[in-house]
């Protein structure tokens, strides 16, 4: 049986040649984001954006929740995969970054599907629960501040419907999860959420060694 292959630059380029379908709008947004401070490190890989769109389309969900917008590359990928009547709620701490993505959402003709909520993400999610959004979403994507991942995960499980997906990004966190010298709050948050998901009998799970680690969680 073959083990996990090492995907170096040449092999990754091969994957992009034969799989990636990133059009001009997505490329322009990715390039704009890469010019920002830490922009290239913070945005999702193009392959991951396509994977998220694939999940949305394959599961047929009509309502998506995103925790962590940044400049909205993943937002755009998922919003495009929704049906015309679909809706994506995306949360960010600042208006600055989503405003960059908004121009590209308009270019793609999906801005009316996207509802941006600004504020502390956990507070926004609590407000949504109070407003009757419990069990509402078919897919929740978590890609925000890592120290609060355990809290976001618990709130996401209350907001996703039974049988729905919670997709958690950065669950390998640049390899820091196995570094005994890494004791910062972000690494601790990722380690805690990984352990919590592993032991959670409310869900099915699959951790993928793709990008910076992606964990798929299905609420039973």
- pLDDT on residue 40: 87
- pLDDT on residue 136: 97
Q: Quick check: 1 pLDDT over 60?
A: no
pLDDT mean over 202-206: 98
C-alpha 145/C-alpha 142 separation (Å) is 9
143: burial class by Cβ within 10 Å (0-12, 13-18, 19+)? buried
* Least confident window among 34-38, 158-162, 192-196: 34-38
- pLDDT on residue 2: 62
Task: List CB contacts of 99: < 8 A, sequence separation 6 or more.
Answer: none
Does 9-219 carry CATH code 3.40.50.150? yes
- pLDDT on residue 188: 98
Percentage of the residues of the chain whose pLDDT score is greater than 70? 99
pLDDT digits (tens, 9 = 90+) for 5-59: 778 889 989 999 999 999 999 999 999 999 998 888 889 999 999 999 999 999 9
Other beta carbons within 10 Å of 140: 29
């Amino acid at each position: 049986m073959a083990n996990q292959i090492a995907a170096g630059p040449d092999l990754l380029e091969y994957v992009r040649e034969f799989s990636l379908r990133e059009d001009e709008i997505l490329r322009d947004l990715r390039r704009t984001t890469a010019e920002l401070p830490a922009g290239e490190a913070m945005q999702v890989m193009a392959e991951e954006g396509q994977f998220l769109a694939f999940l949305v389309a394959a599961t047929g969900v009509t309502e998506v929740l995103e925790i962590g917008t940044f400049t909205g590359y993943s937002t755009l990928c998922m919003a495009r995969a929704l049906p015309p009547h679909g809706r994506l709620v995306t949360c960010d701490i600042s208006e600055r970054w989503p405003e960059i993505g908004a121009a590209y959402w308009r270019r793609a003709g999906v801005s009316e599907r996207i509802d941006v909520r600004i504020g502390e993400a956990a507070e926004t999610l609590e407000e949504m629960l109070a407003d009757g959004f419990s069990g509402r979403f078919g897919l929740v994507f978590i890609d925000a501040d890592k120290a609060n991942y355990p809290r976001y995960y618990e709130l996401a499980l209350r907001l996703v419907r039974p049988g729905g997906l919670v997709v958690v990004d950065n669950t390998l966190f640049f390899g820091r999860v196995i570094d005994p010298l890494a004791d910062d709050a972000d690494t601790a948050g990722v380690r805690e959420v990984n352990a919590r998901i592993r032991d959670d009998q409310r869900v099915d799970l699959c951790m993928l060694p793709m990008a910076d680690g992606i964990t798929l969680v299905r609420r039973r």
